[in-house]
Chains A and B, each alone.
Chain A
Amino acid sequence: MPTYLLFDVGSTYTKGCIVDIDQERILAQASALTTATTDISIGIQAVKDRMMDVLSKVTIDQTLACSSAKGGLKMVAVGLVPDLTLKAATLACYSAGAKVIQAYSFMLNDHEIKQIEDSGCDLLLLTGGTDGGNRDVVLHNASKLSKLNRKFPILYAGNKSCQDDIRAILSAGGFDITICPNVMPVYGVLEVEECRDKIRDLFLSTIVKAKGLSELNSLIKEIVLPTPYSVMEALKLLSSGTKSESGIGDLMAVDIGGATTDVYSMNKQFVVKDNVGYKGLKEPLQKRSVEGDLGVRFNAHSVYELKADEVDDEGMKDYVQEIEEGKIDSFDTQKDSRLAAWCCEIACQRHAGRMETSYTPMGVGYYQSGKDLRDVRVMIGIGGPILHSKNPVEILKKALTQKAHPEILLPLEIEAYLDRNYVVSCLGLLAHRHPDEVLRLLKRNVEKLNDE
């Protein structure tokens, strides 16, 4: 079986590893600091140099990469009702590893069309209506979009009854239109899998080239996945296991970066406890959420603003100011940990479901919306700020249910784990090719932390 050279490019650190599938071993691993402005190939070369000892001795059969370069996969989501098809569309984008830079509901107006024109999106997901449901709004939106000057791929995943019309309208407008099954075929039912696959296919077939990532092609022979997609594949495998080897079960993971914080939750079943009603769309068992305003570098300031009123400052204000102005020479690990802890706390709270209490004439009633994660125990930390922290457990513990907010359905207890060697995103690239081997590699490399 082959030996792979894997890269994760485009974020603050470029990561790389060499994996020998036969021996089920990671032969070498390295990361290098890369700034957003530098050429991707510089980071790759730096990582290669650091692994040169091993690299010079083995034969690499294939080189693969996941990328979040040039802003990652930037998408615009268009739906009908905000809580229904727009939410479904947004969840579909997230689960495909995309960042939703704009989201629109109901009929698009000229102002919104202008915003989409200027958004610089890589792909637009158009939805609206259940199958056999509303047609007018999505047809209106398609014909508005068809007049845009800037062309980008459009994926349609709305009312199936309009598929042919939508194809005709958007093709006539010069758009590359892809059709896939409805993200919400019947009321309240979410179907994101096919949509997710189509987004990935479009990323590979057209977007990588359009984003100017083809410079990667000279260095890397095959597949470039969006990084969060690859992370998701790895976490799915780690959670559910394979036919021959069991996974570790339900888990959550938080990936804190410089600009964004991603939260993942993988569940076997959708939990709704006894005597609790459910409201709204049932979210995916494998859910990812992205917080575009939470990060320890480019968004340090916005994280601070969100927490400033609740916490003692202890120099944080000056620190985030310095980061913002780019005046910092050496980063303060302790303060970075504090920022990371805030990112973890806010992002996990936004990710989790809610329990509402309703006092009715028949007694107290409870209803849930979103995912109940109270019974999840495994909490995995991914990304530089957690990795470099002196106390990663403390950061991850911010994902616990808080006494002041029992309505937010976060874990009651956690066991903290860490992606110590920065390998989760890279290993996700091999999740489909060598599931058993990769699962065992993940189990060995996602390290359990002791409570300090």
Chain B
Amino acid sequence: MEKTTIVIGVIGADVHAVGNRIIEYAMNQAGFNVVNLGVMVSQKEFVDAAIETNAKAIIVSSLYGHGELDCRGLGDACKEAGLDVLLYVGGNLVVGKSDFEVVEEKFKKMGFDRVYPPGSDIEQGIRDLMADLKNKA
């Protein structure tokens, strides 16, 4: 059976590369075909890559606090492109100390299926992804 393809990357002008590598490694280990767009990824690049590779999920990281601005419209862009993908986001999504539940709700409204706070366990993310993919199938 062909591996499930997922697209990962760090959105906006963010250059935090370490977490991105860890996600790539862990997702590869978990059996996914990982298309890693690296850092400073635009919304268009996420969408284009997901179309060409027939990805089942887009996993967005943002560590520098501007995640809300960068991610706004990504959910719509996916819908507009006819993509039927799971949309995950995680990291330091907003500046300052906001209540995570508020942040989560905000991002879910923007079309994200799952939202992860700083310091989340990647293994949990993988379990969620596998479950969500199974539910969708």
Q: Which residues of A are at the interface with B, using a C-beta cutoff of 8 A? A: 80-81, 83-85, 128-130, 132-135, 161, 184, 186-187, 277, 279-280, 358-362, 365, 367
Contact = CB atoms under 8 A, between A and B. Distances in A.
In this complex, the member of A128, A161, A184, A277 whose beta carbon has the largest number of chain B beta carbons within 10 angstroms is A277
A135 B38 CA distance: 25
Given A80-B52, A81-B51, A130-B53, A277 B38 contact: yes
B33 interface: yes
A279 B38 CA distance: 10
Contact of A362 (B45, B49, B64): B64
Given A277-B38, A279-B45, A360-B15, A187 B2 contact: no
Interface of B: 2-3, 5, 13-15, 33, 35, 37-40, 44-45, 48-49, 51-54, 64-66
A84 B65 contact: no
Nearest to B64: A361
17 contacts: A129-B52, A132-B5, A133-B5, A133-B53, A133-B54, A134-B54, A161-B2, A187-B49, A277-B40, A279-B40, A358-B40, A359-B13, A360-B13, A360-B15, A360-B40, A361-B66, A362-B13
Nearest to A107: B82
Interface of A is mostly: loop
A128 B54 CA distance: 11
Contacts of B40: 277, 279, 358, 360, 365, 367
A80 B53 contact: no
Contacts of A359: 13
A130 B13 CA distance: 27
Nearest to A159: B54
Nearest to A132: B2
Contacts of B51: 80-81, 134
B93 to A, nearest CB: 14
Contacts of A367: 40
A395 to B, nearest CB: 37
Residue of B15, B53, B66 contacting most chain A CB atoms (<10 Å): B53
Contact of B52 (A133, A277, A361, A362): A133
Contacts of A134: 51-54
B48 A83 contact: yes
B53 A362 contact: no
B18 to A, nearest CB: 14
A81 B52 contact: yes
Contacts of A279: 40, 45
B52 A135 contact: no
Given A85-B52, A130-B52, 16 more contacts: A80-B52, A84-B49, A84-B52, A128-B52, A130-B54, A132-B33, A132-B54, A133-B5, A133-B53, A133-B54, A187-B49, A277-B38, A277-B39, A279-B45, A361-B65, A362-B64
A365 B49 CA distance: 23
Contact of A81 (B5, B14, B48): B48
A84 B54 contact: no
A84 B48 contact: yes
Contacts of A362: 13, 15, 64
Contacts of B44: 83
Given A187-B35, A277-B38, A365 B54 contact: no
A144 to B, nearest CB: 17
A277 B9 CA distance: 14
Nearest to A277: B40
Contacts of B53: 129-130, 132-134, 187
Contacts of A361: 13, 64-66
Contacts of B65: 361
Contacts of B52: 80-81, 84-85, 128-130, 133-134, 184, 187
Contact of A135 (B35, B39, B49, B54): B54
A129 B14 contact: no
A358 B13 contact: yes
Nearest to B48: A81
B33 to A, nearest CB: 7
B79 to A, nearest CB: 16
Nearest to A88: B52
Q: Which 9 A-B residue pairings sit nearest by Cβ, starting from the closest?
A: A360-B13, A133-B53, A133-B54, A134-B54, A81-B48, A187-B35, A130-B53, A84-B52, A132-B2
B44 to A, nearest CB: 8
Contacts of A360: 13-15, 40, 64
A273 B98 CA distance: 39
Nearest to A366: B40
A446 to B, nearest CB: 40
Nearest to B41: A279
A129 B54 contact: yes
Nearest to B66: A361
A124 to B, nearest CB: 20
Nearest to B47: A81
Nearest to B44: A83
Given A129-B54, A135-B54, A358-B40, A365 B13 contact: yes
Contacts of A129: 52-54
Nearest to A359: B13
A51 to B, nearest CB: 52
B89 to A, nearest CB: 18
